[in-house]
Amino acid sequence: MRSFLKDTVRFLAWVSTPFLILLGVYLYLDPFKVLRPYDDYSNPVVSLNRDFISTSTYLRKHERLRYNSFIFGSSRTVAFRPESWKKFLPDTARPFMFDASGETITGMRDKIRFLDSTGGHIDNALLIICRDATFADNPYSKGFLFEKHPATTHGSWLEFHMGFVRAFLDPTFLSVYFKYLRTHEIVPQAQGYLENRKVGYDTITNRITLVSQDEEMRQDPKAYHEKRNSVFKDRPALSVNDSASWITDRYAGYLREMKAIFDKHHTEYRIVISPLYERIGFNRTDLALLNSVFGDRVYDFSGKNAFTDDPYNYYESSHFIPSVGDSILARIYAHQP
């Protein structure tokens, strides 16, 4: 029996050694930047989780910087620069980009409820709603880019971190990550894992900037688009998707909860429906519901219009550029609800 137990211990040690080594590497390198605080997340090697960055940055800095104005939404908030927004706000406004990759109405509700429950001030708010994602059936997307910070969801910290450990141990991730560490080469298989662009993070407002893409577009917009010709595909002929409402009763409840919190804080807010490259108009039933909750503070830029007709207004078929965001801000703040 002793011999059997010794052999079992040796076997388990032998089997677990590679895992323990990899775990040690993970703890030391912190590739996803979720284990230790960082002041500046600019130019990461691995694509980072914006939800974690936004929430942890707010938690670390809100007492000192006294944020009171927030932009909520998905990665498409990249078009809305806090410095541009501030031009339309009172001098006391201190903007913060509280976005997340693949953000849905559930994530926005969670963040707004979190700010309210923790004593935050919401003097101004800008909500960026997207026809194709905000009211998706699955409130939380899967994958390390979409893990939600437990502070806003009251989720498990253990499960949160296990999500990143699982992502690190994925054979494809290990292959492309260690190849990059050896050669600084980003192979095609690294898409979705490693960041092949220069990305800047503002340490005050949490604004993300697509540095390399902005520079490339400034130098030669035509060449930028020709290089990505396959991305800018033909767009659907469908003008408005009225086949089914996206806003369920549950999501309608979230909208009313958000409105109640805005009323409580006397928030000056605007709701923007994104001008997506697809040029499909927002569902009219859903638009009527948004208007019933938020009144004339809803601004619909979906469908076919001057913004969406011009391919040069887009980084690719999903994200529109900051000059579009600046134009939208000028329009919505020229109107007094």
Give the structural domain span for 293.
Answer: 54-138+202-334
* 253 is a domain residue: yes
Angle at 287 between CA 284 and CA 292, to 5 degrees: 130
CATH assignment at residue 226: 3.40.50
Once rounded to an integer, what is the mean pLDDT over residues 228-239?
80
CA distance 107 to 311: 29
* 192 is a domain residue: no
Which DSSP string do the residues of 167-229 spell out, in sequence order?
A: HHH-HHHHHHHHHHHHH----GGGTTTB--S-EEE-TTT--EEEHHHHHHHHH-HHHHHHHTT
Average pLDDT of every residue of the chain: 91
* 261 is a domain residue: yes
pLDDT digits (tens, 9 = 90+) for 173-220: 999 999 999 999 988 888 889 998 899 999 999 999 999 999 999 999
Cβ atoms 311, 225 nearer than 8 A:
yes
Cβ atoms 279, 238 nearer than 8 A:
no
Q: Which H or E run contains 98?
A: strand 95-99
pTM: 0.92
CA distance 151 to 148: 9
* 69 is a domain residue: yes
pLDDT tops 50 at residue 294: yes
* 206 is a domain residue: yes
* 19 is a domain residue: no
Place of tokens 């927004």: 85
* 183 is a domain residue: no
pLDDT tops 90 at residue 236: no
Task: Give the model's confidence band at 232: pLDDT under 50 very low, under 70 low, under 90 confident, else very high.
Answer: confident
Cβ atoms 282, 242 nearer than 8 A:
no
* 282 is a domain residue: yes
What is the predicted pLDDT for the residue at 99? 97
The total number of structural domains in the chain stands at 1
What is the predicted pLDDT for the residue at 1? 53
Q: In the chain, where does DSSP find H-type helix?
A: 2-29, 50-65, 82-86, 105-117, 150-153, 157-169, 171-183, 211-219, 221-227, 249-265, 284-294, 306-309, 322-334
pLDDT digits (tens, 9 = 90+) for 85-141: 999 999 999 999 999 999 999 999 999 999 999 999 999 999 999 999 999 877 666
Task: Give the model's confidence band at 163: pLDDT under 50 very low, under 70 low, under 90 confident, else very high.
Answer: very high
Task: Give the model's confidence band at 9: pLDDT under 50 very low, under 70 low, under 90 confident, else very high.
Answer: very low
CA distance 326 to 316: 18
pLDDT digits (tens, 9 = 90+) for 52-84: 999 999 999 999 999 999 999 999 999 999 999
CA distance 169 to 145: 15
